[in-house]
Amino acid sequence: MAQRQMLTHSDIWSAVDRLAAKAGLSASGLAKAAGLDPTTFNKSKRITPEGRPRWPSTESIAKSLQATGVTMDTFVSLITDRGGASTQAIPLIGLAEAGAGGYFDDAGFPAGKGWDEISFPAVNDEHAYALEISGNSMEPAYRDGTFVVVSPGAPIRRGDRVVVKTTEGEVMAKELKRRTAKSIELRSFNPQHTERTLSVDEVVWMARIMWASQ
């Protein structure tokens, strides 16, 4: 007789992450879409301060399914998909936070503590990470709650959407308009915002945006 597999804390939370990814959302984006506190599904909320596992409530799951239009049967299949071969966990942080020190190394790779994680289809860059957009300054390209997947190792060409960090600590998402030996010209997504021209000495690193949720 086959032994039954017990439902684990990890199984449930992995299913929540897969549900978010299926809807093109981060864990916090899923919580917001469901009308919950944005931190409801954060990694930090999954274990109590005493070190005990904290499980998502039935109500939070139900609201998330309603918000994404996913059936309970589909959610159960996400729970039982223990392999998760088609996804990988990549670091996630808010774009507004990314300018603070300690989140990136000198090459623009994610580093240090403070990163969350999101399940995402496998990408060919071990240093890939996700940034969550807040506010409406990047509309119509990126709305509040959109997250973008960034690949520091991808080649960059004119017209690509990129994330740039300056020597002043500013991290911005723009379109690469033109690059010369001395300067980098960046086009804003929102027509109400002006274009930026930076000298190469002002740019710490620049990385290509490979994918954005809708």
pLDDT tens for 68-109 read 898 888 888 888 765 444 566 789 989 888 888 788 988 898
pTM of the complete model: 0.61
For 106, 107, 108, 125, 192, the CA distances from 111, given in Å and listed in that order, are 10, 10, 9, 15, 33
The residues of the chain scoring below 50 in pLDDT are 1-4, 83-85
* CA 44 from centre of chain: 16
8 Å CB contact between 197 and 184: yes
- Please state, for a pLDDT cut of 70, what percent of the chain lies above it: 90
8 Å CB contact between 107 and 150: no
The pLDDT value recorded for residue 126 is 81
CATH of domain 9-80: 1.10.260.40
Fold match between domain 9-80 and domain 90-212: no
> At residue 53, what are phi and psi to the nearest 5 degrees?
-65, 135
Domain positions in the chain: 9-80, 90-212
- Rounded to whole angstroms, the Cα distance separating 203 from 135 reads 24
**CATH class entry, domain 90-212:** mainly beta
